[in-house]
Structure 1
Amino acid sequence: MDCFRFPAAPRAAVSYWGFAVPWDSRSATTIAAHSDQLAVLVSGWIAFDTVTFRPISLYPDTTMSDAASRFALVTTYQGDRFHPDILRGLASDPRILGSAASAVGALVESGKYSGVVLDFEGLTSRDLNVLLAATKAFADSARAHGASTVVAAVPAADTAAYPSALLLSSVSFLMPMLYDEHWSGSAPGPIADPDWALRYLRARVAEVGATKIVAAFPIYGYRWRTSAPTEIVSYSDAARLAETTNTPLSRDPATGTLHAISPQGWDMWVSDAALLDTLVMRSRRIGVRNFALWRLGLEDPAIWSRKTAPVRR
């Protein structure tokens, strides 16, 4: 019997999403150069007044890009933290929640956004009814005002407070935030060790399937300092600092993350194109094909031209 070889299955297309930040001019520079490599640009910022709980547009969105879709981020983050009490207050009265959801929808429509990302961090498992009610209300209103896609951003590890399947009853995709394994308030360390990230990504995929996931990865770093607060650094910041202080920036063999430690009292870890390659390729092996980059303007420029780079349209 002759052997018959079936043609290889086509590789699923990969899409990249990028988060813009209006307070950093480097973000605008990246958007101008590379927005045509992004399927989605999250450029709008909708938050809530911490006193009245009314939705507000935090920054004017002046983004002009070739991105296929512009989304708005809807978040309780203001100042330097999330405000989960806002969501608890809104969900305590269906009329108040409905009014806030309608106001968010109006901002989505006026901004001509085709989608929203809901980021309601800081809740606990005791707040599950709050989360589900708010997610449904804001998702329904966004769709009624022209958004075709609604995404719930969720902490990577917290499946009790942010259960995948229940959230997907109201949203199109889940976005596990696979970064800040170590953060500004923790001890120094990698921002996203691939083993750490993939452990939590696999758990989310097992719950709802890879096609419902947008995996969010870091393209920034931190410099922890003994005599000053920890600071966020871009790849270019890190490379420049390493060079000017004659401090080697080397790859940590255990996590694949660039790392430098100085006798002057600082410890720095930063994402680069090679680490992003690893995160994306390992994610693709379990079927994930949508990836988000936090945040534009801080990235290693090489991410736009390497083998896992977003493809220009």
Structure 2
Amino acid sequence: MKRFLTFLCALTACIPLCAGGKKDKKTDTFTVKTTVIKPSYRKKMPSGEPVQLSEVWGWVMQGKESELDFDFPLTDIGYFAADVDTYGKLDNIPDRNILGGFPGRVHLVLVCDSKSLTHFILDPAFGLRDRLIADILAASEPFDGIQVDYELIPGKDSDNFMTFLKLLSAGARKKGKLFSVCVPARVKTISDDTFSYPKIAELSDRVMIMAYDEHWSTSLPGPIASVSWCEKIAGYALTVIPPEKLVMGLPFYGRSWANEKTAQGWYFSGINRIIDQYDSDKVEYINDIPTVRIKMKVDVTCWFEDAYSTVQKLRLYTSRGISSAAFWRIGQEDPEIWQWITLSSADCLNSGL
């Protein structure tokens, strides 16, 4: 039991991750602020040249701003996130000034973590929608864009959701704000889909496909986003979303599953410590995604992402003509990844505005 508790504590430990990114040389160690992390497994490294992208988005969590380095090759930050309070009013608005030194665009991300509350703010019968839209537009003043990440939408509110997006999009464009919407992964058209890719693409400047959680905490163990699964998502998306509006979301995090209840998400630095602590250096790459079994009092299977697996997915997307990517989230990554991303042009920040 003592070893098991040690395992859980290590998983939840958070070390702020900030690397020098493309300024550093490619080595087998990497810098996390003042801490050097040596990989605890035989790490497979990408080959060839860095991946060239026109837009690189990274989500930054409030309270975790120290995990962002302004030298990261990022064009856009999604500042996570303004929520909705019990009474349907906009709440917990990020302070744009905290990221004042970032040279790119910063977007106000909107969430609503209650299915019931989402219903009440979307259905105009309750008189909350228009006031909320007005509050969002007012709060967006210091930001470059507005991003909707509403994931708990009741099926009966599909039309109300589209109307909400239409109204908010119109308001954002009047204010000169870039408007983006996060959507779950799809590999085909779903009848009466609340997150219809074509409809949302018509209303948005960017569509952010959250191509992760192929396997989740209560599913069977497996990759967060396998390359083959991502290929299907990208293939379908390109048939219904204009490529200049398409942004593919990639995971930085990993998950663990056990024969006892220990499933949860973690930072790359956390799983790296566990591999080292239990001398579990037999990491193997299955279809380009690293996985390892850790032996303790419970049998733990971990699937995670590192620079190699992330670059494999980025190369897949660019080979299909997709030049924009977004990462959930800054701070959870293998810091080596920043050495493998370059921006295609200095003026990419102005694309699509």
Same fold (TM over 0.5): yes
Q: Is 1:263 the equivalent of 2:295?
A: yes
Check the 8 A contact 1:216/1:293 in 2, yes or no.
yes
Give, in angstroms, the shift of residue 137 of structure 1: 2.3
Match of 1:208 among 217, 241, 248: 241
Match of 2:71 among 18, 34, 37: 34
Give the secondary-structure state (helix, strand or coil) at the position aligned to 1:67.
coil
Change (3 A) 1:299 1:229: same
Q: CA–CA distance in 1 between the matches of 2:257 and 2:70? A: 31
Give the secondary-structure state (helix, strand or coil) at the position aligned to 1:232.
strand
Give, in angstroms, the shift of residue 261 of structure 1: 1.2
Change (3 A) 1:312 1:146: closer
Give the secondary-structure state (helix, strand or coil) at the position aligned to 1:288.
coil
Q: Is 1:106 the equivalent of 2:144?
A: no
Moved more, 154-163 or 172-181: 154-163
Give the AA of the match of 1:97. R
Deviations 1:205-243 (A, max 9, x none): 111232220100001111224444422222221122101
Check the 8 A contact 2:112/2:152 in 1, yes or no.
no
Match of 2:323 among 281, 289, 293: 289
Check the 8 A contact 1:304/1:310 in 2, yes or no.
no
Tell me the residue number matched to 2:207: 174
Q: CA–CA distance in 2 between the matches of 1:237 and 1:289? A: 30
Give, in angstroms, the shift of residue 279 of structure 1: 0.7
Change (3 A) 1:91 1:38: same
Q: CA–CA distance in 2 between the matches of 1:152 and 1:175? A: 6
Match of 1:23 among 48, 63, 77: 63
Match of 2:180 among 151, 154, 161: 151
Check the 8 A contact 2:70/2:102 in 1, yes or no.
no
Change (3 A) 1:295 1:267: same
Give, in angstroms, the shift of residue 303 of structure 1: 0.5
Give, in angstroms, the shift of residue 144 of structure 1: 3.7
How many pairs are equivalent?
A: 288
Q: CA–CA distance in 1 between the matches of 2:329 and 2:166? A: 27
Give the secondary-structure state (helix, strand or coil) at the position aligned to 2:87.
coil
Give, in angstroms, the shift of residue 116 of structure 1: 1.6
The TM-score with structure 2 as length reference comes to 0.75
Q: CA–CA distance in 2 between the matches of 1:142 and 1:154? A: 19
Q: Is 1:133 the equivalent of 2:135?
A: no
Give, in angstroms, the shift of residue 124 of structure 1: 5.4
Check the 8 A contact 1:155/1:176 in 2, yes or no.
yes
Change (3 A) 1:278 1:13: closer
Q: CA–CA distance in 2 between the matches of 1:85 and 1:238? A: 35
Q: CA–CA distance in 1 between the matches of 2:54 and 2:95? A: 30
Tell me the residue number matched to 1:5: none
Gaps of 5+ in 1: 1-10, 78-82
Tell me the residue number matched to 2:5: none
Give the AA of the match of 1:128. S
Check the 8 A contact 1:188/1:267 in 2, yes or no.
yes
Q: CA–CA distance in 2 between the matches of 1:40 and 1:190? A: 27
Q: CA–CA distance in 2 between the matches of 1:63 and 1:226? A: 42
Q: CA–CA distance in 1 between the matches of 2:247 and 2:315? A: 14
- Give me the identity figure in percent: 18
Deviations 1:180-221 (A, max 9, x none): 111122222100001101201211111123222010000111
Check the 8 A contact 1:32/1:65 in 2, yes or no.
no
Change (3 A) 1:33 1:251: farther
Tell me the residue number matched to 1:7: none
Q: CA–CA distance in 2 between the matches of 1:156 and 1:130? A: 21
Q: CA–CA distance in 1 between the matches of 2:225 and 2:276? A: 24
Q: CA–CA distance in 1 between the matches of 2:307 and 2:52? A: 21
Give, in angstroms, the shift of residue 106 of structure 1: 1.1
Give the AA of the match of 1:91. L
Q: CA–CA distance in 1 between the matches of 2:70 and 2:173? A: 30
Deviations 1:116-170 (A, max 9, x none): 21111133554320220121222233334442x1111000127522111111222
Q: Which has the higher contact order (CA 8 A, sep 6+)?
A: 2
Tell me the residue number matched to 2:231: 198
